[in-house]
Amino acid sequence: MTGEARFHTIAQAFVAQHEGVILAKMMSSPGLKFNDKVFAFYHKDKMGFRLGTQFNLEANGIANAEPLSPFKTKPPLKGWFMIDVVEADLWPLLTEEALKFTQSL
């Protein structure tokens, strides 16, 4: 399964299972939104997750991550992480964590 197909499978499940979760866009990429806030999206074989600044990547077994840095002249977005498709097996759990974090805001 491609990364994009895996994202769409996750997205469909979250929209069906979580009230208030809808499909959305994050910088022209497909994503998921709760209460008008995007919490996860897919872009170029990576998924971006809004996990918060306190989220510990290493403690959660994530080795292939980088901060979301979409702007050339600005620092990375705080609390957002891009997780490579090689760790796609973690994407459903991270989507759940991102939703929980976003619901807490």
CA distance 38 to 32: 6
Q: At residue 79, does pLDDT exceed 90?
A: yes
Q: At residue 56, does pLDDT exceed 90?
A: yes
Q: At residue 1, does pLDDT exceed 90?
A: no
The full set of domains in the chain, from first to last, is 3-103 (3.90.1150.30)
At residue 72, the pLDDT reads 84
Query: Which tokens is 31 given?
Result: 């994503």
| pTM for the predicted model, two decimal places | 0.94
Q: At residue 27, does pLDDT exceed 90?
A: no
| Mean pLDDT (the chain, rounded) | 95
What does the angle CA 25 – CA 17 – CA 61 come to, to the nearest 5 degrees? 75
The answer for residues whose C-beta is within 8 angstroms of residue 54's C-beta and 6 or more apart is: none
Q: At residue 70, does pLDDT exceed 90?
A: no
